[in-house]
Chain A
Amino acid sequence: MKKLFERLQKHPKLNPLTEARLTLARLRKLLENARVIMNLLADGDEKLKEEYIFDRHYVTSLVDQVIERSGMLVFDAVVLAPEGGKTLYLIHDELKAFAVDQFIKNGDETGAGRFPLQETNPDEPELRLLARVLAWATGPLPNGSPSVMDFIRRIFDHIVPVLRDGHYLKMAKSRLELNGASAKHEIGVIGIESEPIKEGLVFINDLECRPLGMMLIGAGQENSENKWQKQQPTTKWIAFIGKEQLSLRGMDADNKIYLEAAFSGHLDSDFIFIFIENPMDPKTFLPPSFHVEKTDLGTLAWSYDVSGQNMENSFTQLGAHLLGSFCGENIS
């Protein structure tokens, strides 16, 4: 029995690429759960503003789903970065306890005294309940209780060390170089799908990645008139690519940008998530349609405006700003 237990405890050593793929898959799971929460809250906001007819069950169901997904978020975050996971679980417990007390157990009126609405106070109890749920989502809450957004900000700050992990640079066997007017970009490329990528220096056409392709179109447009100069600083990036997926991470101390995106054309699965570490100012390059939340470690930004043209515009705009300082590829 003891031997069996010891054998079970010994994890087989994964090769680094498999490990990277598993980490990325977990990160995607986390983003998906975050996205579901944001969508639920956006749906609630729409129901409140656009005079929908709904009952209490809609509101309590919304709260239940947010709590359930929040629990999944904690799990994903702790799998990615185990250290400090206990704190996240405690925050989640607090978030859940507040919601159960205010919205599920005590319904509308009992909790209202302890959680007053400052700005709006609709007539109908269902509307009041939903308005309070949305206030719980955005905060700030009385007695310092965590809001849903506080919780999500903590989750992203927790996983930043995973995003900034630079050891993947050594793993990348393919390299895309973009030489521009004021900067040179070197992108280490790692494929996350089964089809192998050509090793060594690669061209854009060697890579099948729709989001990266759109970003490079934007980058090219931005600098088509720039005159290439020698002696530019090099910005290092790592890109995990799939046909419809991109995970692009800045690896320099002054370029801590982490972008996760999917662009398949299926509205349910497309998104762009970006985390920008302090002290970078995201206002200089984020498209205006992005929702932005400040965290302790940086800025979280995302876009679910996923109609094809809007996604293309966002990618090209991001490409122009982040990778824009080049006028050609593979020029050395």
Chain B
Amino acid sequence: MENKQLRIMVIDDENIVGKRLKPALEKTGDTVETFEDAKKALERFNEQSFDIVVTDIRMDEIDGIEVLEHVLAHSNKTKVIIITGYATVEVAREALAKGAFDFIAKPFKPNDLRIVIEKAAKQLRA
């Protein structure tokens, strides 16, 4: 896994998240795909493996916990990072208990997420 570019999926139904994260995360050469619709994201996940999935926890049709369960059921290598809002800290704990790698609370800077992704990448390389 040394020096391997990461394939990262970002799922958030708020447009601003993907729009801002994609260019920020691609700066280091990783491949980033963004989705506002969790259902479409999971369909994509079924056809293409990802090293890291970054998902918002509160979404309309499919929430972050469902995304987490789906990803972990289909891949034991993928690391899932949960994005939480103000009111979802309890749910974030639940996500960690269910196997999420880590969570990051909004508002955050792209670099804050980059640090968490690097930690996840280290585990992937180990």
Contacts and interface: CB of A to CB of B under 8 A. Distances in A.
A198 interface: no
Contacts of A57: 85-87, 106
B14 interface: yes
B73 to A, nearest CB: 27
Interface string A51-80: 111111110010000000000000000000
A192 interface: no
B86 A124 contact: no
Contacts of B87: 57
B107 A58 contact: yes
Interface of A: 47, 50-58, 61, 124-127
A61 B88 CA distance: 13
A124 B16 contact: yes
Which of B12, B14, B110, B113 gathers most chain A CB within 10 Å?
B14
Given A55-B14, A55-B85, A58-B106, 15 more contacts: A47-B107, A52-B108, A53-B20, A53-B106, A53-B107, A53-B109, A54-B16, A55-B16, A57-B85, A57-B87, A58-B86, A124-B15, A124-B16, A126-B16, A127-B16
Nearest 6 CB-CB pairings of A with B = A54-B107, A52-B107, A124-B16, A55-B14, A126-B16, A57-B85
Contacts of A126: 14, 16
A130 to B, nearest CB: 10
B14 A51 contact: no
Contacts of A124: 15-16, 19-20
A129 B16 CA distance: 12
Interface in B10-27: 12, 14-17, 19-21
A124 B107 CA distance: 15
A61 B106 CA distance: 12
A59 to B, nearest CB: 10
B109 A51 contact: yes
Contacts of B109: 50-53
A53 B85 contact: no
Interface in B93-126: 106-110, 113
Contacts of A52: 107-109
Contacts of B17: 53, 55
B16 A51 contact: no
A203 B113 CA distance: 56
A51 B20 contact: yes
Nearest to B107: A54
B25 to A, nearest CB: 11
B27 to A, nearest CB: 13
A61 B16 contact: no
Contact of B106 (A51, A55, A125, A127): A55
Nearest to A46: B107
B85 A58 contact: yes
Nearest to B113: A53
A35 B15 CA distance: 33
A91 to B, nearest CB: 28
Contacts of A55: 12, 14, 16-17, 56, 85, 106
7 contacts: A52-B109, A53-B106, A53-B107, A54-B107, A55-B106, A124-B19, A124-B20
A126 B107 CA distance: 12
Contacts of A51: 20, 109-110
A124 B16 CA distance: 6
A326 to B, nearest CB: 49
A63 to B, nearest CB: 13
A277 B113 CA distance: 48
